[in-house]
Amino acid sequence: MIPPKEIIYLESNKLMNISHSLGYFVFTPPKTGSTTAAKIFNNFDFQTFKISDTNNIELLSSKFTQTHYYNNLPDYENYKLICTVRNPYSKFVSLFKYTIAPEKKVISTYNWREEFFELLFDNITHHSDQGWAHELYFGSDPSSLGRKIDYPLRIENLFEDYSSIPFIKDSDYFKNGSLKKDLDLKLNSTDDKYDYSLYKIPNKWEDFYDQSTADFVYSKHKSYFDYFGYDKDSWKKI
């Protein structure tokens, strides 16, 4: 298999974006719109903190930072939790394309179906413990995390979900149309920064799946599908 990029940053797995003035945490698991989240939330009063093993926090940046994994959660019970989320079927296709993007050579016997399933198997069954944002990414039961996710931001429903957050809805950033403009720029851009033509992979994420691969993902992510309202059959072409 083509060696995947390293996506777990051990030095940054205790970083968290917090707004003390607004009373919010933001978690951004990988491949769920974290780049967009950083752009949006940097219009508001968020800072990046490092969380110690004793649950103390240290200010690292006066801005919102794109970071993925969190091992500890400060004891701020009244703070609301925002989390970016994505349909697991689409998320794993995005991860697959991310892992093959840097490769320049494709051997004639390359089989994307085999490589895709190997990635699914490796990432779903052999992941390591990187904290509960990591568990959200890989499909553990979100209801077991110990606190409610107050505002899930679905990559498939960005404007409506961002607009549901009170401090965004009440802001000039929302009222003057800047939120919609920034999200439209994201939606109208392409995620494909690389040429995938040599791999002969499908253009649509739905076409990466057949019944067996879809069943495999769903069986490992059922709680994620249920918690965030994703349809088991959403991979099917209608």
User: pLDDT tens digit string along 162-221?
Assistant: 999 999 999 999 999 999 999 987 765 555 567 787 788 898 999 999 999 999 999 888
Q: What CATH architecture does domain 10-226 belong to?
A: 3-Layer(aba) Sandwich (3.40)
Ordered DSSP codes for 163-230: HTSHHHHTSHHHHTTHHHHHHHHHHHS-S--S--GGGT--SSGGGG--HHHHHHHHHHHHHHHHHHT-
Residue 234 and residue 150 in contact, taking contact as beta carbons nearer than 8 Å: no
Residue 12 has pLDDT above 90, yes or no: no
Decide if 70 contacts 14 (C-beta within 8 A): yes
Q: Which of 37, 153, 145, 133 is nearest to 86 (CA)?
A: 153
- Phi and psi torsions of 128, nearest 5°: -100, 170
Q: What value does the mean pLDDT of the chain take?
A: 81
Q: If you count them, how many residues does the chain have?
A: 238
pLDDT digits (tens, 9 = 90+) for 140-168: 667 766 778 899 999 999 999 999 999 99
Could you state, in order of their start, the residue ranges of all structural domains in the chain? 10-226
**Interatomic CA distance for residues 96 and 192, integer angstroms:** 12
Model-level pTM?
0.84
